[in-house]
Every structure is written in C-alpha cells, then in structure tokens.
C-alpha cells in the first residue's frame, strides 16, 4: 500500500542536520509517510556519508542529482513521490508531531484547500514567531503568506508543474503559491506554531533573496502581469477582497499599495 504522505527533503551540504530532522519525523502521530531526500549535488563528505547511512533505512529513499537549487530539488523529489500529499520540508527544519494528522484532516474535509500551513517558530541564530495568513490569491499579491515547508496536494503540485526551476535566488515558494491560488484554491492556515524553522548563516533569504529582491519581484510581476492587473481591478472595484482573520477595508488595501510603491515596507 502506498503511503498517504511523501516527505520531500532537499539537501545541499546539510547532512549535520538530517539525523535530527529524520528523528523528529518519527514522532509524527500520522505514521503513513515515506521520506524522500534529494541530494542536490552535495560536496561535503560528511553529508554524503550521512546520506549513505540514511539510505539503508527502509522508509527512506535518497536520490542524487546535480546541483540545481531548491526548486529543482523539490520537483525532482515529487516526481518520485507515491503519496497523495506532499510534505515539503527543508533538511534543517522540522514539524510539530501533530502537523501531519491535523493537515491531512483539513485536506480530507476541504476539497478546495490545496495547501496547509501554520505559524512558524524560529530557532537557531534567530528566535521568534511568524504568522503567515495563508488564504486566497489576493493574500499573495504583495508578499508570500505560506512557507515552503507545508503540505500540498500532489495532484495540485503536478497540475501547476511544480516549482519554477529558473528561480534560484529565492521567492520560488511565493511564485509557486501564486500559481496554486490562481486556480481558485486556498492555503489553509492552522493558527499554531507547527513548523520549526532553523536560522543559520547559510540562509538563502539573507544571502541571495534580499540582495536580489527587486529583480525577483520584477520577474514575478512580468510572469503574472495579466493576473496582477485583474486583481488590482477587483480590489479597486470591490473595495474588500483581502482577508486575515476578517476582511480588510479598502483604506488598508490602499495603504498596502502605497507602501509597496514607496518601498515603506519591511
């Protein structure tokens, strides 16, 4: 019998974290999952040794490929996945033991939900909590509202053709969720800290995304130009589309637009 969930973990020289990540997965209250680790061209000998050891475990598949960055690695893993749902996870992060059970329950009951996410607990070099909103396409207009580590219906992942592999500097998860929510499907937020996100000096966000933010945003805008125009027209006409816990007023939408245009945002 195929597993219900396929956990896809890209790994580039992050072998030191993998034993902890795999150990945490063993605590999940829903045990119906396989683990697929994608070695994205690691050059670190210790990482290669750990991957070799992990490959001997019965529920773990280790795939090897040339380095192509996160988008390529995630897509490669999903192509080999047998599960109905994809739990995307980074090599140095982990989920709360209840996440699989809670996420599957939501996906089984809500056919219009494509992705399940949660609040994020940072640990490592930075601590704190992040509260993405999830939601519909309008919530993803100005910023990403779902971490890459989340549970996604595999049929939806395949329908949108996975991640854009040309995006190597970050925000590939944001663009991925834009394409999913453009299908009129939603990202469900569980308002609990169920994702533990390790902060290190190796952070793609810090080293690649922030220095190239303007160029990446321009790429997203050009790729989805017609959609952005359509959404902005609806925002102006309807005066209320975006929501968090409740709907946001037109004045708040205008403030968001103004802040984006004048770069007065964090």
The pLDDT tens digits for 200-236 are: 877 777 778 888 999 999 999 999 999 998 988 887 7
What is the DSSP pairing of strand 94-95 with strand 128-130? Answer: unpaired
Burial of 223 from C-beta contacts in 10 A (0-12 / 13-18 / 19+)? middle
pTM: 0.88
| pLDDT range class, residue 62, cuts 50, 70, 90 | very high
Alpha-helical (H) ranges within 80-212 are: 99-109, 154-159, 172-181, 204
* 153-168 mean pLDDT: 97
- All structural domains of the chain with their residue ranges: 5-202
User: According to CATH, what is the number of the domain 5-202?
Assistant: 3.90.550.10
Spatial separation of the C-alpha atoms in residues 30 and 217, rounded to whole Å: 38
Spatial separation of the C-alpha atoms in residues 19 and 25, rounded to whole Å: 10
Q: Residue 223 contacts by C-beta under 8 Å, 6 or more apart in sequence?
A: 164, 175
* 175-185 mean pLDDT: 97
For the chain, how many helices (H) and strands (E)?
Answer: 10, 9
3 state SS of 103: helix
Q: What count of residues does the chain have?
A: 266
Residue 92 · residue 15 · CB < 8 Å: no
């Amino acid at each position: 019998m195929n597993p219900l969930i396929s956990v896809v973990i890209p790994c580039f020289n992050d072998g030191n974290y993998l034993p902890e990540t795999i150990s945490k997965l063993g605590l999940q209250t829903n045990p119906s999952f396989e683990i697929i680790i994608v070695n994205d061209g690691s050059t670190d000998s210790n990482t290669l040794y750990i991957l070799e050891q992990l490959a001997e475990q019965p529920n773990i598949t280790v795939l090897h490929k040339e380095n192509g960055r996160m988008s390529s690695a995630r897509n490669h893993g999903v192509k080999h996945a047998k599960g109905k749902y994809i739990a995307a996870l980074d090599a140095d992060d982990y989920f709360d033991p209840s996440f699989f059970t809670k996420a599957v329950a939501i996906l089984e009951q809500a056919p219009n939900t494509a992705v399940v996410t949660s609040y994020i607990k940072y640990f490592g070099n930075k601590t704190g909590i992040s509260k993405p909103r999830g939601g519909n396409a309008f919530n993803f207009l100005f910023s990403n509202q779902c971490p890459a580590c989340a549970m996604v219906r595999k049929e939806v992942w395949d329908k949108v053709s996975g991640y854009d592999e040309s995006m190597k500097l970050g925000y590939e998860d944001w663009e991925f969720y834009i394409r999913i929510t453009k299908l009129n499907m939603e990202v469900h937020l569980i308002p609990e800290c169920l994702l533990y996100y390790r902060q290190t000096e190796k952070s793609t966000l810090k080293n690649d995304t922030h220095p190239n933010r303007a160029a990446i945003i321009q790429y997203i805008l050009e790729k989805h130009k017609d959609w952005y125009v359509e959404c902005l027209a609806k925002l102006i006409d309807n005066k209320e589309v975006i929501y968090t816990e409740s709907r946001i007023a037109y004045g708040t939408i205008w403030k968001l637009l103004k802040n984006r245009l004048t770069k007065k945002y964090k």
